[in-house]
Amino acid sequence: MRFSSTACAVIAGLQLLRGIVTAAALQPVATERIEDVTLQLLVEGGKLLLGTNDIVLELRPSAGPSDVRNVVLVAVRPGAPAESVNADLASDDGGRFHGRLTLPWTGNCRMEVAWHDEHGHHSHDFTVPVVVGHH
């Protein structure tokens, strides 16, 4: 009988964990096309929130694998350029970078992305909303 109770508890725990992982799936908050590169900013729930956000930035060239490096992501409060926040990004290889971005304001946020690849230096800006809430 003890084995059955333990097995039930493990199965219930795994089902609960699967639900949490599914709910926490990364979704795009922005997708931009820059020449032959698709840029995608992914975040849990598809929303940037006030406070700390775990993010993934993807830079995918349409021609296949690329040597994307020196990626910089800066969040700037529109109308207040002195209020900017850098994201600490680490490479996952293949044009995918993960990190944390802590945003101290709500409303619109201008994201400035810069990177190098085999074709030189590139940069792009886009605007995303920042909301109060939780994932």
Which domain, by its residues, includes 53? 26-131
CA 112-50-76 angle, to 5 degrees, is: 20
The confidence band for 6, taking pLDDT boundaries of 50, 70 and 90, is: low
Provide mean pLDDT across the span 37-44.
Answer: 96
**82 or 50, greater pLDDT:** 50
Strand, helix or coil for residue 1: coil
pLDDT at 1 over 60: no
Q: List, in sequence order, every beta strand (DSSP E) within 62-119.
A: 69-77, 80-91, 96-103, 107-117
Q: What is the CATH number of the domain that holds 88?
A: 2.60.40.1930
7 lies in some domain = no
Give the confidence band of 97 by pLDDT, cuts at 50, 70, 90.
very high
Q: How many other CB atoms are found less than 10 A from the CB of residue 121?
A: 9
Please determine, for residue 123, whether its predicted confidence score (pLDDT) is greater than 90. yes
pTM across the whole model: 0.78
- Whether 90 is covered by a domain: the verdict is yes
How many separate domains does the chain show?
1
